[in-house]
Amino acid sequence: MSLGTFLELRQELLLIAAALLVLIAEIFSDADKKRNTGLLSIILLGIVTIAGFFPAPSGQLFGGMYLTTNVRLLMKNILNIGALLVFIQSVTWLKKEEHCEKASEYFLLLISTLIGMDFMISAGHFIMFYIGLELATIPIAALAAFDRYKNKSAEAGIKLILSSSLSSGILLYGLSLIYGTTGSLYFSEISALFANNNIQILGFIFFFTGMAFKISIVPFHLWTADVYEGSPVNITSYLSVISKGAAIFTLIIILFTVFPVIIGTWQKTIYVTSVLTMTIGNLFAIRQQNLKRFLAFSSISQAGYILLGFMSGNQMGMAAVIYYVLIYIFSNLGAFGVVTAISNATGKENMDDYNGLYHTNPKLSLIMMLSLFSLAGIPPVAGFFGKFFLFTVAAQQGYYLLVLIAVLNTIIALYYYLLVVKAMFINKSETPVEYFRSDFPTRFALGICIAGIVVTGFASIIFEVIRNLSFVI
């Protein structure tokens, strides 16, 4: 391998090195020092994240099975940032007596999923893609069952692994149909050979349902609620933000590069599923009392909005999607961060428990409010600009009805996001959550989320950079 190869594979190699280092540290440290691996993992991932921003060459490796371009690198960077935030948010929770033994396990598995996601994004061949996909999923199932003595957590792990094997089965079936009709699994060859016949469309749809499962697009979303509710909060936020973001990135790359021939078909597919996703996600979210479940369902409808950006099939849509995922990471992790902090301090997760929170914990309430405003798309926070660009992209292609449905759905979403804000600021409570001071990692992560929510919206340069990179997928 030449140096150039190393540079092209830089992100993956660094992550693998980080995983190995964490493993070695785990083996060689004493039992009482194992909690330090958490700090080590954060530092290592921090280094990888920063390294990602140095320019790297574009190109392909392994005979075209691995591709890297600037926009793919950008996607990996965005995921790294999100993962880093989740790492930092996990520190407090992992300090608990029953978890601290397994801390390095936790980080090791998360880093493995990141490696999987990176390979998924950089895949140039369906086998490479599939390996990445599984590597990004299976460790998560283990993590969902992290609290293995809690029934719900164990149940979440089992449900995730079973339903994801189901979806993988269908996805592989689709891939085999594509292979059977085109004779290749290379992205570049398939896109040239694809001919829009029925078998191939069936293959595409089965592939799509497999990805839809990961993004939890309706009607392939049913696993989401149980898994999100049962898993530890940090895993839920990781699943709903990082895993989902990675799957969205991969899907948009594959749709744009492998299936441009059948753009008409996948636009229709996305049309139907995005309407279903937004609407059903909202209808479920509206009834949730548990905030974890609430955020989980709201993240389903968020995925529905993101699908609008796919409709264009051009770089504007790509840019809008990447931009929105970036904002979504900050906003959702902000909201999850508050939920985690309160859950860690008091164990409370219900909406009623948040009544009167503003009077006892004004700062947390403000952060929660900003995050929810950003998720709802209220100007001037970043979420507004994100939605604005997504809707613009769809409208430019003439999908006015779809945009109208999306706007109606944002109104419903606004209603339930405001329910939480109302609970915090207006509702009175006899027994509000007591005042508590979060520790440094939590405050640090929340600070970054808030800065991200504000800055990403106002600094137009961020969107400009994303747009300029999106030309070459």
Residues that bind another protein (CB under 8 A): 159, 162-163, 166-167, 170, 198, 201-202, 205-206, 208-209, 213, 219-220, 222-223, 225-226, 265, 268-269, 272-273, 280, 282-284, 286-287, 392, 412, 415, 460-461, 463-464
Task: Measure Cα distances from 234 to 69, 271, 295, 333, 376 in Å.
Answer: 31, 32, 12, 9, 22
- Residue 457 token pair: 């919206």
Which one, 48 or 225, has the nearer CB to another protein?
225
Which one, 35 or 152, has the nearer CB to another protein?
152
| CB count in 10 Å sphere of residue 210 | 25
Q: How far is the CB of 201 from another protein (least distance, A)?
A: 6
The 8-class DSSP code of residue 60 comes to E
- Residue 175 token pair: 């891939």
Which one, 128 or 142, has the nearer CB to another protein?
142
Which one, 23 or 205, has the nearer CB to another protein?
205
Q: How far is the CB of 225 from another protein (least distance, A)?
A: 5
Q: How far apart are CA 120 and CA 195, in angstroms?
A: 25
Q: How far is the CB of 172 from another protein (least distance, A)?
A: 13
Q: How far is the CB of 171 from another protein (least distance, A)?
A: 10
Q: How far is the CB of 199 from another protein (least distance, A)?
A: 9
Task: DSSP for 427-465, please give it.
Answer: ---SSPPPP----HHHHHHHHHHHHHHHHHHH-HHHHHH
Q: How far is the CB of 265 from another protein (least distance, A)?
A: 6
Q: Which amino acid is present at 110?
A: L
Q: Among 6, 68, 142, which residue's Cα sits nearest to residue 472?
A: 68
Tally the C-alpha atoms within 13 A of residue 39's C-alpha that lie toward its C-beta.
Answer: 5
Which one, 193 or 276, has the nearer CB to another protein?
276
Q: How far apart are CA 430 and CA 450, in angstroms?
A: 30
Encode 42-57: b = buried (16+ Cβ within 10 Å), e = exposed. bebbeebbeebeeebe
Could you tell me where the DSSP H helices lie in 183-262?
A: 187-193, 198-215, 223-230, 233-237, 244-257
Q: How far apart are CA 125 and CA 179, in angstroms?
A: 11
Q: Which amino acid is present at 471?
A: F
Q: Which amino acid is present at 244?
A: K
Helix (H) or strand (E) holding 68: strand 66-68
Which one, 170 or 172, has the nearer CB to another protein?
170
Which one, 87 or 463, has the nearer CB to another protein?
463
Which one, 92 or 470, has the nearer CB to another protein?
470
Q: How far is the CB of 87 from another protein (least distance, A)?
A: 28
Q: How far is the CB of 226 from another protein (least distance, A)?
A: 6
Between 382-396 and 440-458, two packed helices, what is the crossing angle to 10 degrees?
Answer: 40
Q: Is 57 helix (H, G, I), strand (E, B) or coil?
A: coil
Q: How far is the CB of 314 from another protein (least distance, A)?
A: 14
Which one, 352 or 464, has the nearer CB to another protein?
464
Which one, 7 or 205, has the nearer CB to another protein?
205
Q: How far is the CB of 340 from another protein (least distance, A)?
A: 24
